[in-house]
Amino acid sequence: MVSHRNALVAAVRQELAEARGAARAVLAAAETARGEAQTRRQLVRDAYGTCLNQLAEARETARRDIQRRFQYETAKLAGNVRRVAALSATGAAAAPWRLWAPSEPERGGRPGLLRIGTLALDDAAPLPALIPLLDAAHLDLAGPAPAADGLITGLLLRALGSTRPGDVQLTVYDPEHLGGTLAAFAPLGISFVGPGGLGAMLDELVEHICRVNETVLAGNALPAPWRVVVLLCDTPELAAGHRAQLDRITRTGVTCGVHLIVRGARLADHETVVRIDLDAKKCDITGELEISFDPPPPADRVVSFCRETAERMRAGPPPAQLADLSPATFWAESSAHGLTAPIGDSTDGSLIEVPLGDDPPHALIGGPSGSGKTNLIYAWLAALATRYGPSELALYLLDFKEGVSFARFVPGPRDPSWLPQVRLAGINVNGDREFGLAMLRHLGEELRTRAQAAKRHDATKLAELRAEDPAGVWPRIVAVVDEFQVLLGGRDAVADEAVTLLEDLARRGRSQGIHLILASQDVSGIEALWGRSGLIGQFTLRIALPKARRILADNNLAAAVIPRHHAVVNTESGTAGANVVVRLPDAGDRLIWRTLQRRLWRLRPEGCEEPRLFDGDAVPRLPASCRPAGLVPDAATPVGSSPGAVLGERIDVAARPARLRLGRMPGRNLAVLGTRTDEACDVLAAAALSLAAQGPAHFSIVCLDPDAAGPAARLIAELPSADWFDALVEAPGLGIPHYVIGYALDAAVDAGTLRRLLTDGPEQRTHVLGWWRSVSRLRDSLGGPASRLDAIGAWVALDVQGADLAPLYPQPGGPAWYPRSRRALFFDRSVHRTPEVIIPYEVNSDHT
Ligand SMILES: Nc1ncnc2c1ncn2[C@@H]1O[C@H](COP(=O)(O)OP(=O)(O)OP(=O)(O)O)[C@@H](O)[C@H]1O
């Protein structure tokens, strides 16, 4: 029993031991699992922390990135807005008060926006808060009266300061303060409306709008000035009638230049109404952005501005500047149908355009000395030359005054530029009416060429010719002749031919695009002008400067009353009633002109040639091509049948040399006549050198005057083949042309030898080119008063009166010739009907 019990205990013990062992094993496993779980938990916790950190970092980076982009975009946007704002509101419309000054609006520009304060932007410099007014809006202000009145004062100052004096007309309804609120503006002549005047004022505005609409419907431009009406109402309620009228004005005013600025009475809703809430610091235009309103302008600034503006209004707007006559784009116009260009402005500042074309075709400018004719021509030419390029306009300019007014258009020693449209300019022409004639002849040729081209293309006027012949170059030609009375003055062949040419050009130039602008101090005495109705009748454009006589019709006295630097432009031949008064800009400033000309010059097309300049005071030099240079022709070189001796420069547009043909015919000798040694020597030297340049020739120099010995020696030094003689000799036939160059042959020559040389020489190619100091001495050297002069086929007269030349001239009485310095009269019996004036070349620059 005991053993059984012992066994049982042992068994139990065994089982218990096993159970305990198993429990311990389970516990150990559980402990291990717990440890592992705890480790895992720690890992997860750590990972979570890392993740959180990374996320926070990423979020911070993204936030910073977004903020940077936001700042960048905001700054960019603000910059753009600031630039737009700067363009939309310039000068007085936007400047802060401390820098504020009135600014001149651009000619033809529209009014911009006006600044009322600034808009605060996060992280960006504040933007100007701008609102529209003129031509755009009515303003409705809500908020405390003093702040609103200050804002209105600022707005008015900006609107007035950025427009021309008189462009804005101000009306103020201020029943409580009886105009006191805006009294600073009183010097501008504003209308103050009292407490009882609101109805009448609104009625008047409504009528004004009706009138403006009538004008616009009639096709006329919107008339200035703008009407700005300020209503300072302290009681919001208006009488029903007033309210109805105000609503009408609100709806229709802006398009008619009527603008309301209202404080205290709400304007009806309309697209043109801009509301400004001073309490909320908001405005319709700027939306949700808060406005920091500008303070009112300093009172003294308003008062001084108004005083100065009132002064300027009394004086009128300043005259246009030369630059105002230029278009925005140069050379953009076509001259097919005419030339239109402003020459100045009217007293209200608008430019006055002057037409030239089919009607009116030509212009006559008149005004006493110093009245501004040349200035007017400068201004006109500047306006034309900036509008029409060289393929549209060609200018021929001639000034018969003693002076160089057209010299600025051609290259000079200090300025190589020229006005690209100028083809020819004549200065100091007062003594050389022949040059005027030459220009008219040249234009006459051009007229003929154009008329033939028009006939070929079946065109009746320039516009048609240009349409039919698009490849042709047919610019309109404008010929300006200043002091043209010099050309027509005098009853001689020059005046007769000039009038005939002018008449032809005036009559037919209209359809061929050739226009004349003639200016004169006094046209009243030009009989040639008034005697030919066919001529004067074509000059339908008349421009009269102050005190001009006979430019306008006899009953048109406008020129007598206009002030200095003004002109009357009349396109109906000067009839009263067709006057337009123009203020002329000062176009005389050389620097301004040079700057303009340089701009045009740089635009000149390829191949644009320098203009031909004729300067009556300049002495032309013998061209290098007329001197024997390089290879000297030898005896084997063929000799032309009639070499041409160059005697001087012809007074013509091409500046060609005048030549005397020396063929093997009787009388082919030259007599240079007169006492001016220098010029006589130059004529002989030019003749000899030019002959030597043309082929083999031999020269015999005979010099009988010690004063001419220097030039004669210089000549012989330059001639390839020449001998010096102290007396006239008969040279044997050489087989090549032989020229006897005789200086002062009247001094002492054997009459028989001279006669034989003159008579028989030319047949054997021996020609005498001699200088005699007078016609009678020439005769004496040929044997006395009865001797014949047939052997002298050509002559050049220097200081010899026309009547003295009678023995050498086919018409009785001799040619009409009054000697002039550095001018000579050339007559070649075999080619001339009438003699021609030439300018002896300067051959050697010093006349020792
Ligand atoms: N619109 C103007 N504004 C300012 N100055 C002017 C104006 N017109 C002319 N003048 C000046 O008046 C003076 C005379 O002008 P201009 O030489 O044009 O007159 P003119 O009629 O051609 O005289 P003249 O026949 O004696 O040559 C010049 O000094 C010129 O600068």
Give tens-digit pLDDT for 483-511.
998 888 777 888 889 999 999 999 999 99
State in Å: Cα 373 to ligand 1 middle.
Answer: 6
What confidence score (pLDDT) does residue 80 get? 86
Pick the CATH number of 624-839 from 3.40.50.300, 3.40.190.170, 3.30.70.141, 2.30.30.100: 3.40.50.300
Pocket flag, ligand 1, residue 522 (CB < 6 Å): no
Say if residue 640 carries a ligand binding annotation. Answer: no
Contact 741, 699 (CB under 8 A): yes
Closest CA to 105 of 127, 134, 81: 134
Q: Is 807 annotated as a binding residue?
A: no
Distance from C-alpha of 668 to C-alpha of 359, rounded to nearest angstrom = 53
The dotted CATH code for 114-315 is: 3.40.50.300
Ligand 1 nearest-atom number relative to CA 367 = 21
Question: Could you identify the atom of ligand 1 that is nearest to the CA of residue 545?
Answer: 21
Say whether 634 sits in a helix, a strand or coil.
Answer: coil
Q: Is the CB of 367 under 6 A from ligand 1?
A: yes
Ligand 1 centroid – CA 381 distance (Å): 15
338 touches ligand 1 (CB under 6 Å)? no
C-beta of 386 in contact with ligand 1 (< 6 A)? no
Q: Identify which of 345, 352, 374, 569 to mutate to test ligand 1's pocket (most ligand atoms within 8 A of the CB).
A: 374
Q: What is the 374 CA–ligand 1 centroid distance (Å)?
A: 6
Copy the structure tokens of residue 660: 């005397």
Is 372 known to sit in a ligand binding site? yes
Find the 563 Cα to ligand 1 centroid distance in Å: 13
Question: Tokens at residue 150, please?
Answer: 């200050």
CA distance 792 to 800: 16
Query: Of 100, 94, 127, 126, whose CA–CA distance to 113 is shortest?
Result: 94
Check: CB of residue 769 under 8 Å from CB of residue 688.
yes
Give the DSSP H or E segment for 282: strand 282-283
Distance CA(363)–CA(344), nearest Å, equals 16
Q: Which atom of ligand 1 is nearest to the CA of 401?
A: 27
If you measure from the C-alpha of residue 444 to the centroid of ligand 1, how many angstroms do you get, rounded to a whole number? 31
Sheet containing 168-173, strands listed edge to edge, beginning at the edge strand earlier in sequence? 191-193, 168-173, 226-232, 258-263, 138-142, 273-277, 282-283
The helix (H) or strand (E) run that includes residue 172 is: strand 168-173
Cα of 366 vs centre of ligand 1, distance in Å, is: 13
Which residue has 């977004």 as its token pair? 66
405 a known binding residue? Answer: no
DSSP assignments along 318-380, one per residue: PPPPGGGGS-SSTT----TTEEEEEEEE-TTS-EEEEEEESSS--EEEE--TTSSHHHHHHHH
The H-assigned helical ranges of 418-475 are 433-456, 462-468
Select from 716, 714, 687 the least CA-distant residue to 700: 716
Distance 371 CA to ligand 1 centre (A): 6
Q: Is 573 labeled as ligand-binding?
A: no
The whole-angstrom separation of Cα 771 and Cα 712 is 12
Cβ atoms of 354 and 340 within 8 Å: the answer is: yes
Q: Fill in the DSSP letter of residue 278.
A: T
Radius of gyration of the chain (CA): 48
The complex's ipTM works out to 0.98
In CATH terms, is domain 323-615 a member of 3.90.1150.200?
no
Query: What pLDDT digit, counting tens, does each position of 664-692 carry?
Result: 888 899 999 999 999 999 999 999 999 98
Candidates 321, 347, 375: which one to mutate for ligand 1, based on the most atoms within 8 Å of Cβ? Answer: 375
CA 48 to chain CA mean position, Å: 80
- Residue closest to 297 by CA, chosen among 96, 134, 93: 96
Kindly report the three-state secondary structure assignment for every residue of 518-558.
EEECCCCCCHHHHHCHHHHCCCCEEEECCCCCCCCCCCCCH
pTM reported for the whole predicted model: 0.69
340 burial via Cβ count (<10 Å: 0-12, 13-18, 19+): middle
Low-confidence stretches of the chain (pLDDT beneath 70): 1, 107-108, 123-124, 216-224, 236, 316-317, 403, 525, 527-530, 630-642, 731-734, 845-848
| Residue in this structure with the two tokens 């149908």, named with its chain if needed | 337
- Segment holding 30, helix H or strand E: helix 2-88
Distance of CA 612 to the CA centre of its chain: 21
Whether 114-315 and 323-615 share one fold: the answer is yes
CA angle 362/380/464 to nearest 5° reads 50
Which atom, in ligand 1's list, is nearest to the CA of 377? 18
Query: What CA–CA distance (Å, rounded) separates 510 from 519?
Result: 18
Asked if residue 324 lies in contact with residue 587, where contact means CB atoms within 8 angstroms, the answer is no
Domain limits, the chain: 114-315, 323-615, 624-839
Nearest to 129 by CA among 259, 278, 261, 283: 283
587 CA from centroid of ligand 1 (Å): 9
Residue nearest to atom 25 of ligand 1 (CA): 369
**Ramachandran area for residue 756 (φ above 0: left; ψ -120 to 50: alpha; else beta):** alpha
Long-range contacts from 525-530, C-beta under 8 angstroms, 24+ separation: 525/485, 526/485, 526/488, 526/489, 528/488, 528/495, 528/499, 529/488
Residue 369 assigned ligand-binding role: yes
Q: Nearest Cα to 272, choosing from 129, 119, 140? A: 140
CA of 353 to the centre of ligand 1 (A): 20
Is 367 annotated as contributing to ligand binding? yes
Which ligand 1 atom lies nearest to the CA of residue 584?
Answer: 1
List Cα–Cα distances, 250 to 229, 599, 617, in angstroms.
11, 49, 71
- What's the pLDDT at 639? 52
CB 405 near ligand 1, within 6 Å: no
Neighbours of 346 (CB within 10 A): 15
Residues 6+ apart with CB under 8 A from 753: 728, 729, 730
Q: Would the CB of 520 count as within 6 Å of ligand 1?
A: no
Distance of CA 464 to the CA centre of its chain: 28
Measure Cα distances from 359 to 338, 474, 511, 523, 554 in Å: 9, 19, 10, 22, 22
Residue 138 region by backbone torsions, left for phi larger than 0, else alpha for psi between -120 and 50, else beta: beta
User: Is 630 within any annotated ligand binding site?
Assistant: no
* Owner of token pair 């022409």: 429
- The pLDDT assigned to 847 comes to 41
| 369 Cβ below 6 A of ligand 1 | yes
Amino acid letter at 356?
L
**What is the whole-number distance in angstroms between the Cα of residue 375 and the centre of ligand 1?**
5
pLDDT score at 272: 93
Give the CA distances from residue 541 to residues 248, 363, 365, 554, 584, in Å, rounded to whole numbers and listed in that order: 48, 5, 9, 16, 17
Residue 275 buriedness (CB in 10 A; 0-12 / 13-18 / 19+): middle
